Amino acid sequence: MSLRRRADFTEETSRLFTMPAVARAVVRGLGLADAAADAATNMGYDNLMILELTHRVEERIHTLAGMDAEAEMYLDTEVGPHPASYDEGSIDDWKLTELLEDSISGIIDELIDHRGGSNAIAKLTYFADRRLEVIAHGLERPPSQIEEFRRERGILPHGELDAAAASVLSYLVGVAFGRWDLRCAGGLEPALGDLFDPVPVHPPGMLLDDGRPARTTPAGYELDLPPEQLLLDQPGHQWDIVERVTAAASLLVEDADRLLDDLMSHLDGRDLRHQLRRHFFKEHLTRYSKSRRKAPIYWPLYTPSRAWGVWVYAPSLRRETLYAVEAASTARLQSAQSEISRLLRIVSGDISGPSARQAASALESEQQLFEELTSFRRAAERVAALGWEPDLDDGIVLCAAPLADLFGAWPEAAKQRKHIRDGKYSWASVSQWSADL
């Protein structure tokens, strides 16, 4: 059980999270690929131990139950043998490499095509690592032989580097907001405690101040937290999200730019800003969703062109946050006004500057942003003026609903706002403002 619980130390949405396994290796100086390989090796050892222990337990149960060979054969036929029960033998290296590099769905399809749809392969049943165990059943070879083959050849599962990059970036964004404590990076894993101890109120990796989630920078903490835990997508601004993520990375590794470039090479964005503007939230939503429950905590509120935005940290959402969003858009709108005036003077030849063509192009972009900011501020001002008091007990999506006009990245917010207007959630505190939403 402790082996299974240890995995929660590296699972961002668990109550035992400290930091991603890959990030722990990155802090030690490894590049992303080597860090991912290191994490896979450590996880592999744990998985093999789990499989060995569960195999012993299964054998003991069979003995106590007095099962004969015929009964065990029947059970293996109906349910499937334990993956650790297979004997070592020859393996087609090319076939095993192909399976190890494939996605889990691809592995299952391949094995079903060649071996048929046995329960052990097709059903969602496993002890430690479904991928490893499905391959073991398909090839009828023990997981230890398969894992040794993978480790010796440095093979990583399909999409593993992409997932590793996404997990490190998610962690850095959390550090920038003040959710995660960078002082935990590279430290020893916390003690697991007794199996029946109460679930921790806060994950060990969370940044705390006097025992509660930090809302302002704790004394002696190296990284300043943004006011209201809001970050902006605004180059040059003190609280620009790209700058703050870079600052977080620089406190974890010696060469932050190299790390971020490494991450971007395995993600969809051209650079960090493009990744955050266009791709981050989709992965974040998936990470913070389970079944039909969706609870993203980093909210990108953007103008339609994504040229400017405010990032809200949902656990800190309160009425003052709404005014802070409005104030940020007002400040950027005033800046756009000044920039438009300057560019107009350049285009007209009143002052020197870039070429007329460059100035005209910049002017067009700034004028478009000005129009978008005007609409953004109007929407932010309207929500702030409602008198709405955000209540996280309503649930994340209902708290996001009043901000739907600013939250284009998550259409679910607009959908739930309509339901609130229609009176569907009379139990929720936000329903008190349903007529004004």
* Structural domains of the chain, count: 2
Average pLDDT over residues 205-226: 96
Residue, of 300 and 29, whose pLDDT is higher: 300
pLDDT at 351 exceeding the cut of 80: no
Q: Is the pLDDT of residue 188 over 70?
A: no
Least confident stretch, 7-16, 201-210, 221-230, 268-277 = 7-16
β strands within 206-357, DSSP E: 208-209, 212-213, 230-233, 289-290, 293-294, 298-302, 309-313
Please indicate, yes or no, if residue 350 is contained in any of the structural domains.
yes
- State which of 127, 153, 179 marks the end of a domain: 153
List strand residue ranges (DSSP E) for 236-292, in order: 289-290
Residue 117 has pLDDT above 70, yes or no: no
* Portion of the chain with pLDDT greater than 70, in percent: 95
pLDDT at 132 (0 to 100): 94
Q: What is the pLDDT confidence band of residue 88, given thresholds at 50, 70 and 90?
A: very high
CB atoms within 10 A of CB 401: 27
Domain end, chosen from 153, 185, 204, is at: 153
Helix (H/G/I), strand (E/B), else coil: 190: coil
Residue 124: pLDDT band (50, 70, 90) is low
Domain boundary among 153, 182, 204: 153
Q: Is the pLDDT of residue 202 over 60?
A: yes
Please provide the average confidence, as pLDDT, over all residues in the chain. Answer: 92
Tell me which of 105 and 273 has the higher pLDDT. 273
In the chain, % of residues over pLDDT 90: 74
Model confidence pLDDT, tens digit, residues 361-387: 889 999 999 999 999 999 999 999 999
Calculate mean pLDDT across residues 98-123. Answer: 79
- pLDDT band for position 86 (50/70/90)? very high
Residue 286, in any domain of the structure: no
Q: Residue 66 belongs to what domain range?
A: 1-153
Of the given ranges (62-66, 120-124, 329-333, 431-435), which has the lowest mean pLDDT? Answer: 120-124
pLDDT of residue 122: 63
Q: Is the pLDDT of residue 1 over 60?
A: no
- H or E, element range at 148: helix 143-153
Decide if 33 is inside a domain: yes
| Helix, strand, coil percentages, rounded to 5, for the chain | 60, 5, 35
pLDDT at 346 over 90: no
pLDDT at 51: 93
More confident residue, 118 or 60: 60
Write down the pLDDT at residue 8: 84
- 160-182: per-residue pLDDT in tens? 999 999 999 999 999 999 999 99
Give domain status of residue 174, yes or no. no
**Would you say residue 200 lies in a domain?**
no
pLDDT of residue 230: 98
Structural domain includes residue 370 = yes
pLDDT, average across residues 341-351: 80
**Looking at the predicted structure, is the pLDDT value of residue 141 above 90?**
yes
pLDDT, position 368: 97
- In the chain, how long is the greatest CA-to-CA distance? 97
Q: How many other CB atoms sit within 10 Å of the CB of residue 126?
A: 17
Q: Residue 240: inside a domain, yes or no? A: no
Q: Which long-range contacts does 137-141 make (Cβ < 8 Å, 24+ apart)? A: 137/80, 137/81, 137/83, 137/111, 138/99, 138/107, 138/110, 138/111, 138/114, 139/91, 139/95, 139/96, 139/99, 140/86, 140/89, 141/86, 141/87, 141/88, 141/89, 141/91
Better pLDDT: 357 or 123: 357
Classify residue 290: in a domain, yes or no.
no
**pLDDT score, position 284:** 98
